[in-house]
Structure 1
Amino acid sequence: MKKLNDGFKALYNGDNLLKITRVRYIPRWMVLFFDIAFVLFSVVISYYFLNQLHVRINYPHLLPLQGLIVVLVNLFYMFIFRTYAGIIRHSTFFDFSKILLSSGSTLVTLFVFNYAFYLVKGKPLYLYPNIFLFFFVSVSIMFFFRMLTKRFFSLMIEYRRSPTNLNVAVVGVEDVSVSLARAIMHNPNYPYRLGGFITNRTDSKRAILLGHHIYSKKEFFSSPKILREFDAVLMIKEIMSKKELEEWMNLSLDKGLKVLKAPTIGKMRDQDLVGGIRNLQIEDLLNRRPIKLENGDVMKRHFGKNVLITGGAGSIGSEIVRQVAEFAPSVIVILDQAESPLYELEMELSEKFPNQKFRFILADISNRHRLERVFEEYSFSMVYHAAAYKHVPLIEDNPHEAVFVNILGTKNLALLSKKYNVNRFVMISTDKAVNPTNVMGASKRAAELFVQSLQNTGGNTTKFITTRFGNVLGSNGSVIPHFKKQIEKGGPVTITHPDIIRYFMTIPEACELVLQAGTMGNGGEIYVFDMGDPVKIIDLARRMIRLSGYIPDEDIKISFIGLRPGEKLYEELLSDNAVTVPTHHEKIMISKDHCEDFDTVDKYFCKIVRSAVRRDKYEVVTLLKGLVPEFLSNNSEFEQLDKGNVKDTAH
């Protein structure tokens, strides 16, 4: 009943909102005036037809009264149903239905009045065919008036568009594509002009949609005449598969057309839809289907709780902050040693989450005394440890710095989490920790071993969880922003090796899986994520160059500079002897890696930290190789250390 009532309210009130633009619109009083004139005209024309057919009407001396009654009854129902209230140039079937209801009610009322007149006078005032003629003529004229007005305003909008606007072809003829096309037509202030539609279907060749042609894919891309009329192809990426996106992109770029993407109607209000159109990015082609979060479990772990996020100003940490904030924790403590990014994040979050309590702490995780004050002040339920040094070449040159942050910092946080009975400790690791060939990967693998070994120590109540995934798109220092800068400068785009491949995942996707993994297991697990198929970096570079409107190796050169110290051609998510166990989430698996006992790992950690304090990088790396025997240096000065067995260095 409530939905029915809401429907009648919407029908009565209409959509009377209008954003004032430079294009004028017809006022309501004028719409009402025209409708009354159309009713009068329908009365005249109906009597004219009857006269031409030599039909004798009843009470010819009362013709003015008959016309006045028709007009007054129509006017009454026009006010009841507010047929004049809608904006004519935005008329929809909803507005037409109000005209039908108004005119239909007039028809019924005249029938009842006519029958009552017949009972009193013995002869009806109107001929019944004449009443039907009133109805059909008036409804047809009012419909035609609105359609003609819509078309007139559409032509005005098209006339106002700048000749420099991009003439776009919208891919698809589904409802969302039509809604997008209609939004373009009604937004003259944006730099786009609707030129037509493209579809995979072949049965729409002669069809017209919103006054524009529908082209088949084959017809569109094979006709130079048609292609000359268009500047860009516009797609809604959320309704297309990755394969379809690539196919449309390749066809468009090959013909010299720009490739644009638009959000779905559900993601933006109509007035913002056209403003949301952007150039297709390489991230759109690498993105996978949205993650299905079990929000009930995630909400339970965060709602009303105190949460610590280390490295919170970084690309991964800041996205974890944003996602955790959606679950209304009691307080989110964001800890980082990068002052400017931390301040910028504070400004962003205060605006985006005005009702969420945040605390921003500038601190170094290698300083245990500073961290302990934080743990004392807040009784954390969840700790997300995203703080880390991650740039392979820099860490290869400065291995002692990786020890202070990736090893000592992790140890400090893990031990404090145990001491203060944190419910869950979630560490963000990397695929570079698997069979590491560089110091950064080895330091992260050492951190994994420490966190795992701490799980079964005496008196521990904390669940220690490790998450491991590959490269994330758009993170600080990642390859895609680097390539974008090189392309903007005109090249060359530099790649270390023609055969190098990497796994990629978007930042939001990775963080959603981190939150989900944080709700799972009994502690001690290493969760690995489904990263999809690996991508050749050279293919990535060529696509980015083409999406930027250039031709690879002609407009923008690609050069190979050789593998950097510690870099390998491909990354792995599992070590050679590890097996995976599936979980109830299709994108999360448990890696059964080898683990050490706590005393052994802790002894190594103590020695490694002392070596780092002395800045003895060879001893640091030697000890790391002892703790992580699968660590074999590649293209690095530390390769000489792999010749002997260093396993018992800590004993």
Structure 2
Amino acid sequence: MYSLVSQSKLESYNVLIVGVNDDSIALAEALSTSKNQNFNLAGFISFRKDHQRIKILGKPIIKYGSKFYDRIAPMKITGIIIAGSQLSITQKNELVDKALSNNLKIFNVPEITQWTDKEDVTSKIKEIQIEDLLERDSIHLDDSQISSYLKNRNVLITGGAGSIGSEIVRQVSTYKPDCILILDQAESPLYDLELELKEDFPEVHYEVILADVRCRERLQQVFEAHNISVVFHAAAYKHVPMIEKNPKEAVAVNILGTVNLADLSAQYNVDRFVMVSTDKAVNPTNVMGASKRAAEIYVQALQQKDNVTTKFITTRFGNVLGSNGSVIPYFKRQIENGGPVTVTHPDIIRFFMTIPEACQLVLQAGTMGNGGEIFVFDMGKPVRIMDLAERMIKLSGFKPYEDIDIKIIGLRPGEKLYEELLSDSSTTLPTHHKKIMIAKDKALDHQTVLIHVEEISNAAISENDVYIVSKIKQLVPEFISKNSVFELLDKKVNL
């Protein structure tokens, strides 16, 4: 039964194509000449109420509405193909939900501009994925502003081989930098990215640097050897349960790694330092989120120092689709293995954003900061993880709780039911970009923060996890542990 997912390409579908525009017609013509007969075109779907034509290419046009499925019942339709990006995200979600409830397969095909003459168009037709339904409408970017601080500059990207860092590399590549320095400690992903970039951006000069943000001396060599103008700091440990068990590593990478990079950026007069943070830094309940909040605090405090010319900018956003450790690939593996799909709590919700969307906003925020700001991204509506699991099971061709079960396993250490993007004490200011706001978290004095950071660093030498976390809580007093062994520290404070 579970082989249906992988064998879907061998099946034949009687399909309708969404839309009556150029992409839809081009797809229909390509299907008619394709050697692969997996898809038999039965007609078109129109979302336009004022559409007058009855047929295109001899195939009927069916208007989408309340009686749509009654109209197509005699046609024995088994699939629907969405051509290009002509539907809004709301329309796409409505279409998919109703199609799934009527046991139809849904397929995507990219816009005609992404086809090549050598390819059979059927190779471009893919079953729709959950990521396609969680996307949001396209973001407007001010390319001229972004280009003004990236063109002909040396740009350092830490964590450059990771899911976020590598996408920042790709997007920065389009703005004609003088050189992109890609720094990461992961050897194999760094090599794979280098091969990809040589093929996709042969005109851009890259330097791949195998290094660890924990090593200040190695980082200093990098800053000394290159006239770096912009730093995108994406290197971090981010897996909540793993970091809850290893707070020493959170200190070494998320806190002290950021201190190393921020200090060197100030020392070498880098123009802009843009840090990637997380919504888990707001009122943190776990070590990972608290360590990222500590990094935010340090970067903001450093901005207050005299004679610092670097503009330090922080960006906060929620979960990204398809990132390493994300819930979506985890659910996909469970579904492929026949289930059950495991959810930690029936009411848990999360904000989601695509990796390209998040990185676009990171680049845009880099143009907007005057220094010391924490920019918060509009993450849209939260997603209930139970709904996500049920939908992914349906998209795979199965019935939730019948073919594949969903099992509640309990919240993990440090896990919240929901994430916040703004702390309770913050005020939010709008910017000229509707998807980016400023969280006015109060900046602390640099000397005060430095004392806390030194205490945290010294504690990390002790190998005593409770002692390490106690020092983090002193710098981040809003850090209240949940479902964790470190809750005892909060009880002591409250006594």
**TM-score (norm: length of structure 2):** 0.94
- Which of residues 249, 258, 265 is equivalent to 1:401? 249
Higher strand share: 2
Distance 2:359 2:402 in 1: 38
Matches within 5 A, 1:462-501: 462-501=310-349
Shift of 1:185: 1.6
**What is aligned with 1:357?**
205
| Inter-partner Cα distance in structure 1 for 2:461 and 2:175 | 41
The residue type paired with residue 183 of structure 1 is: A
The answer to whether 1:255 aligns with 2:102 is yes
2:79 counterpart letter in structure 1:
A
Secondary structure in 1 matching 2:156: strand
What is the count of residue pairs matched by the alignment? 484
- Which AA in structure 2 matches 1:182? E
SS at the partner of 2:437?
strand
Which residue identity lines up with residue 145 of structure 2 in the other structure? D
Letter in 2 for 1:572: E
2:391 matched residue in structure 1: 543
Q: Give the Cα separation in 2 of the matches to 1:628 and 1:612.
A: 16
Residue pairs, 1:302-341, within 5 angstroms: 302-341=150-189
**1-structure distance, mates of 2:57, 2:260:** 64
8 Å contact 1:474–1:481 — kept in the other structure?
A: yes
Q: Distance in 2 between matches of 1:546 and 1:598?
A: 52
Deviations 1:528-557 (A, max 9, x none): 001001010011111111111111111110
1:202 CA drift (Å):
7.2
Q: Kindly report which structure 2 residues correspond to 1:313-462, keeping only aligned pairs within 5 A, or say none.
A: 313-462=161-310
State the distance in 2 between where 1:280 and 1:320 align.
25
The residue type equivalent to 1:435 in the other structure is N
Q: 1:55-70, aligned counterparts within 5 Å?
A: none
Counterpart in the other structure of 1:635: 483
Look up the equivalent residue of 1:304 and give its one-letter code: N
Cα distance, 1:190–1:372 mapped onto 2, change above 3 Å? farther
- Distance between the aligned counterparts of 1:270 and 1:537, measured in 2? 41
Residue 5 of structure 2 corresponds to none
One-letter code aligned to 1:571: E
SS, match of residue 296 in structure 2: helix
2:358 maps to 1:504 = no
**8 A Cα contact 1:497 1:562, kept in partner:** yes
Q: CA RMSD in A?
A: 1.9
Given that 1:445 and 1:628 are in contact with CA atoms closer than 8 Å, whether structure 2 keeps it comes out as yes
**Residue 528 of structure 1: aligned partner:** 376
Greater Rg over alpha carbons, structure: 1
Q: Is 185-194 or 424-433 further displaced after alignment?
A: 185-194
Match of 2:88 among 241, 253, 266: 241
Q: 1:530 to 1:415 in 2, by over 3 A?
A: same
Report the more deviating stretch, 245-254 or 180-189.
Answer: 180-189
**1:341 shift after superposition:** 0.9
Distance 1:224 1:423 in 2: 60
Moved more, 505-514 or 285-294: 285-294
Higher relative contact order (CA 8 A, sep 6+): 2
Q: CA deviation at 1:520?
A: 1.1
Please list the CA deviations of residues 26-59 of structure 1 after superposition, one character each: whole Å capped at 9, or x if unmatched: xxxxxxxxxxxxxxxxxxxxxxxxxxxxxxxxxx
- State the match for 2:3 in structure 1: none
Shift of 1:295: 0.6
CA contact 1:221–1:227 (8 Å) conserved in 2: no
Alignment of 1:553-632 (within 5 A): 553-632=401-480
- Closer/same/farther in 2, CA of residues 201 and 528 from structure 1, 3 Å limit: closer
What runs of 5+ residues in structure 2 fail to find an aligned partner?
A: 1-8
2-structure distance, mates of 1:456, 1:202 = 58
How far apart in 1 are the matches of 2:49 and 2:224?
Answer: 69
* Larger displacement relative to structure 2 (604-613 or 570-579): 604-613
Which position in structure 2 is the counterpart of 1:179?
A: 26
Q: Please name the residue that 1:196 is paired with.
A: 43
- Hey, what's the Cα distance between the residues in 1 that align with 2:20 and 2:10? 26
Q: In the TM superposition, what whole-angstrom CA distance separates every residue of 1:107-159 from its partner, at most 9, and x where no partner exists? A: xxxxxxxxxxxxxxxxxxxxxxxxxxxxxxxxxxxxxxxxxxxxxxxxxxxxx
For 2:360, give the aligned amino acid: E
Listed one character per residue, the Cα deviations across residues 196-238 of structure 1 (whole Å, up to 9, x for unaligned) are: 123346787993321222234455512585252x221111351
**Alpha carbons 2:89, 2:137 under 8 Å: kept:** no
Superposed CA offset, 1:495-554 (max 9, x none): 000000000000000000000111112100000001001010011111111111111111
1:212 pairs with 2:74? no
Measured in 2, the distance between the counterparts of 1:337 and 1:373 equals 15
Aligned partner of 1:627: which letter? Answer: L
Kept in 1: contact 2:15–2:42 (CA 8 A): yes
Letter in 2 for 1:490: G
- State the Cα deviation string for residues 406-434 of structure 1 (Å, max 9, x = none): 01100000000000000000110000000
| Residues 204 and 356 of structure 1: CA distance in aligned 2, closer, same or farther (over 3 Å) | closer
Q: Secondary structure at the match of 2:213?
A: coil
Distance 1:206 1:301 in 2: 50
Q: Going by fraction, where is helix more abundant, 1 or 2?
A: 1
Residues 1:210 and 1:507: Cα distance change in structure 2 (over 3 Å): same
CA distance in 1, matches of 2:313, 2:391: 37
Q: How far, CA to CA, are the matches of 2:51 and 2:142 in structure 1?
A: 42
Separation in structure 1 between the aligned mates of residue 221 and residue 19 of structure 2, nearest angstrom: 59
- Cα distance change of structure 1 residues 512 and 225 upon mapping to structure 2, 3 Å threshold: closer
**Cα separation, 1, equivalents of 2:53 and 2:434:** 45
Is this contact kept in 2: 1:399–1:617, CA < 8 A?
yes
Change (3 A) 1:312 1:206: closer
Structure 2 distance, partners of 1:434, 1:207, is: 55
Identity rate, percent: 57
Contact 1:205 1:214 in 2 (8 A): no
Letter of the structure 1 residue corresponding to residue 294 of structure 2: A
Indicate how the Cα distance of structure 1 residues 370 and 490 shifts in structure 2: closer, same or farther if over 3 A, else same.
same
Is there any run of 5+ residues in structure 1 with no aligned partner, and where?
Answer: 1-161, 647-651
Deviation at 1:591, TM superposition (A): 0.4
**Structure 2 match to 1:85:** none
TM-superposed deviation, 1:327: 1.0
Matched residue SS, 1:485 = helix
Tell me which stretches of 4 or more aligned residues in structure 1 moved more than 4 Å.
200-206, 269-274
Q: Is the 8 A contact 1:363 1:370 kept in 2?
A: yes
Q: Conserved in 2, the CA contact under 8 Å of 1:204 and 1:215?
A: no
Name the SS for the 1:412 alignment partner.
helix
For residues 204 and 511 of structure 1, do their structure 2 counterparts lie closer, same or farther at Cα, with a shift above 3 Å needed? closer
In structure 2, the CA distance between the partners of 1:227 and 1:609, relative to structure 1 (3 Å rule), is farther
